[in-house]
């Protein structure tokens, strides 16, 4: 007759069977939460390039283009800036009086 590790393990396993059962019950929600987390992260990684390509890049391109066009108006001469202000005020006054019908 030989002595094996399982002969010592069996009485412990039988006497602590309820604890092993609790352990399996506790691990199920943990595994479910972990699986949900991993699926959510994968979904975010799939959606992120779509948002970047459809929203972020076109907005960035528009802002850069508008910035370059506005920058071309700035020549650094105060007389030109005053001219822009006078032209803008004249256009606004014409639009105001045009709307009132005077």
pLDDT digits (tens, 9 = 90+) for 36-92: 989 988 988 887 788 778 888 899 999 999 988 888 777 678 888 899 899 999 999
Tell me if 80 is assigned to some domain: no
Q: How many separate domains does the chain show? A: 1
Give φ, ψ of 74 to 5 degrees: -90, 100
Asked if residue 91 belongs to a domain, the reply is: no
Residue 30 lies in a domain: yes
Residue 65 lies in a domain: yes
| Residue 36, domain member (yes or no) | yes
Predicted pLDDT at 18: 78
Q: Does some domain include residue 88?
A: no
Q: Residue 86 falls within a domain, yes or no?
A: no
Cβ distance 73 to 84 under 8 Å?
yes
Domain extent, residue 23, equals 5-75
Please give the model's pTM, rounded to 2 decimal places: 0.37
Q: At what angle do helices 17-51 and 5-15 cross, to 10 degrees?
A: 80
User: Do 72 and 61 form a contact (C-beta atoms < 8 A)?
Assistant: no
Asked if residue 55 is part of any domain, the answer here is yes
């Amino acid at each position: 007759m030989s002595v094996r590790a399982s002969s010592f393990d069996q009485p412990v396993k039988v006497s602590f069977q309820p604890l092993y059962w609790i352990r399996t019950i506790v691990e199920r929600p943990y595994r479910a939460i972990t699986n949900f987390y991993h699926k959510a992260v994968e979904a975010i990684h799939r959606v992120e390039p779509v948002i970047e390509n459809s929203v972020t890049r076109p907005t960035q391109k528009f802002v850069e283009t508008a910035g370059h066009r506005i920058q071309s108006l700035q020549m650094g001469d105060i007389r030109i800036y005053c001219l822009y202000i006078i032209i803008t005020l004249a256009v606004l006054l014409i639009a105001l009086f045009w709307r009132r019908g005077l």
